[in-house]
Structure 1
Amino acid sequence: MSAPIVVHGLYLTGGRAVTINDEIVGLVYDDWGLIELLGWAGLYDAEHCLEDAQWIEWRGGWPHRYRWGYS
């Protein structure tokens, strides 16, 4: 079974789309934005789920990277 939350690959303009149960819920530009979005969606204590593969799948790029390049 795959994770219910997916952080998709980088857009050319930066940021990553987030889906919950295959429904697009937003675009985030950093971990704080992801935590805020997940909290808004009802996930209590979202910051502790960022490294939990049962909750979040990072697709199409490195986890916690929201911009192209090394910055």
Structure 2
Amino acid sequence: MAALIVVGEGSALKGRQVQVMRRGEAQYVGTAFSDHDVVAILQAAGLSDPEEVLDDPRWVQWCGGRAWKPLP
């Protein structure tokens, strides 16, 4: 199974696009500049505990690698 959440490559100036797979299609849900942003974007998209899945490759694909430190 492919990851349900994709955090795209980005830069400090442009951020990283976050997409969620819904009904077999990737839907853009926001642009993140930190892990906190990714969590907030995913909560707004309806995921109840996004911080629980950020380091799980079954859920999240980090394109270009994980840019930020894991949340405490």
Q: Which interval holds the TM-score relative to the shorter structure?
A: 0.7 to 0.9
Name 1:8's counterpart in structure 2: 8
Measure how far apart 1:13 and its partner are: 2.5
Q: Structure 1: give runs of 5+ residues left out of the alignment.
A: 66-71
- CA deviations over 1:17-57 (Å, ceiling 9, x no partner): 01111111110000000001111111111111100111100
Structure with greater strand share of residues = 2
Fraction of identical pairs, as percent:
34
Equivalent residues of 2:12, 2:33 under 8 A apart: no
Q: Structure 2: give runs of 5+ residues left out of the alignment.
A: none
d(CA) in 2 for partners of 1:6, 1:18: 6
Which 4+ stretches in 1 moved above 3 angstroms? none
1:12–1:51 distance in 2 versus 1, CA, 3 Å:
closer
Which one of 41, 54, 66 corresponds to residue 58 of structure 2? 54
d(CA) in 1 for partners of 2:54, 2:9: 16
TM-score, normalization: structure 2?
Answer: 0.79
Report how many aligned residue pairs link the two structures.
64
